[in-house]
Amino acid sequence: MLVLVLGIETSCDETAAALVEETGDAAVPWRLRSSVVASQIELHRAWGGVVPELSARQHVRDICGVVARALQESDSPFDAVAVTRGPGLVGSLLVGVSFAKALAWARDVPVIPVHHLAGHIESLVLENGEMPLPAVVLVVSGGHTSLYRIDRPGEYTLLGRTRDDAAGEAYDKVAKLLGLGYPGGPAIDARAAAGNDRAVHFPRTRLTHADRNAPHLPGRRDFSFSGLKTSVLRHVTKRREALGLAAGEALPSLEIDDICASFQRVAVSTLVERLFDAARECGARSVGIAGGVSANRRLRADAQARGVARELPVFVPSLALSTDNAAMIAAAGLRQLRTRGIEAWDGNAEASLAL
Ligand code: KG4
Ligand code: ZN
């Protein structure tokens, strides 16, 4: 029987619902039927970042309408509800988890608890078909920068992750200190296109030692972005002093373009290098980049170019599926259903769930 799954995602600042169905085709296993995303970006913009309590309250307001719209765009009854169980903001996660449980109970279908990052990874397969395995996938968003190896469908092995800021977080913080607003990633992406990426020298971080908190991981595959962020802060402070700028006065526009381009060159080359180094070490037959930062134009272009040079297929999601959405959660739910079967679940949301 081909299964239709309703996905629900409320881990951060998007309330989302989607319907994804199985195709019966092993190479392209799923098809998107409907996807609705209510973004809270405008709500949080005034605060310069996501305010957890405001986020949870907005999910409560939006969830009924978002799920109703996702269901209205399709007339079939669904066979299971997949929901993001974690990681994320706990108040926000609870809205989705409680809603999913209630709806599943009312319709007498199972709930499939999904890890948010498994969702980002499976977004690659939803749109592009199965990745040749083994694969190495970089999940890079506002909350995460992690490398996973996939040897078998649905099995994700952590190879490395950030020790401090996530890459998207570094984009957001750098944008904030340049006065570019929130979220910072798209703003820096746009400004960098006009700048000279060699104008300012920012250092690259390469970790060689294992993390004391994760001694089982070889440290060389970990990331660190807080040093890069701090050196942008130092450069901006120095330039503001040199130009005698008053508080609230912006740096010259061309200079901001150059800082964005120089920051982005370092951030993107770190991500691309670590991804392809891991792929070589693992003998990967494909690589992928998922999560909000995968929308970045330079990251996509540089990764595609490196993939061509190394003769490795590079999987990236469409822009709609790169930031948080529920289609990826439904896809990961279907993956779980086929690899692990239906497991009775009555657990809770988990803010720091491990994959
Ligand atoms: O996956 P996502 O929607 O939410 C999390 O799970 O974090 O990712 C959001 C992050 C934000 O930090 C945002 O600045 C970043 O993705 N982002 C970008 C771009 N578009 C979104 N970063 C760089 N370039 C972009 N074009
Ligand atoms: Zn995400």
As residues whose CB is below 5 A from the ion ligand 2, the structure lists 141, 324
* Position 179, amino acid: G
pLDDT in tens, 31-50: 999 999 999 888 888 887 88
Q: Once rounded to an integer, what is the mean pLDDT over residues 49-64?
A: 91
Going from the Cα of 239 to the center of ligand 2, the distance in angstroms, rounded, reads 34
d(C-alpha 6, C-alpha 329), whole Å: 9
The secondary structure element, H or E, covering residue 162 is none
Contacts of 292 (CB under 8 A, 6+ apart): 140, 141, 142, 168, 185, 322, 323, 324
Instruction: Measure the CA–CA gap between 62 and 50, rounded to whole angstroms.
Output: 16
Give 196-231 pLDDT, tens digit per residue. 999 999 988 777 677 777 777 777 889 999 999 999
CA separation for the pair 142, 132 (Å, rounded): 27
Which among 138, 139, 270, 280 is positioned nearest to 206, based on CA atoms?
Answer: 270
* Spatial separation of the C-alpha atoms in residues 229 and 171, rounded to whole Å: 8
Strand order in the sheet with 286-290: 156-161, 145-150, 135-140, 286-290, 314-315
Among candidate residues 251, 154, 256, 269, the one with its CA nearest the CA of residue 204: 269
- Name the pTM for this structure: 0.93
Give the DSSP per-residue string, 63-113.
HHHHHHHHHHT--SPPSEEEEEEESS-HHHHHHHHHHHHHHHHHHT--EEE
Distance CA 275, CA 321 (A): 20
| Six token digits for residue 307 | 């993939």
Looking at the CA of residue 168, tell me the nearest atom of ligand 1.
12
Q: Is the pLDDT of residue 75 over 80?
A: no
Query: Which ligand number lies closest to the CA of residue 117?
Result: 2
* Ligand 2 center to 49 CA (angstroms): 15
Query: Quick one: 223 exposed, middle or buried, by C-beta within 10 A (0-12, 13-18, 19+)?
Result: buried
Question: Who lines ligand 1 at CB under 6 A?
Answer: 12, 141-143, 168, 171-172, 183-186, 189, 291-293, 295-296, 323-324
Distance CA 11, CA 350 (A): 10
Residue 168 has pLDDT above 80, yes or no: yes
Ligand 1 center–CA 237 separation, angstroms: 25
> What is the 101 CA–ligand 1 centroid distance (Å)?
29
Tell which atom from ligand 1 comes closest to the C-alpha of 184: 14
Which pLDDT belongs to residue 212?
72
Protein residue with least CA distance to atom 22, ligand 1:
185
DSSP symbols for 206-243: ---SPBTTBTTS-GGG-B--HHHHHHHHHHHHHHHHHH
- Please tell me the predicted confidence (pLDDT) of residue 210: 74
**Positive or negative: CA dihedral 313, 318, 323, 327:** negative
How much of the chain exceeds pLDDT 70, in percent?
A: 99
Average pLDDT in the chain: 94
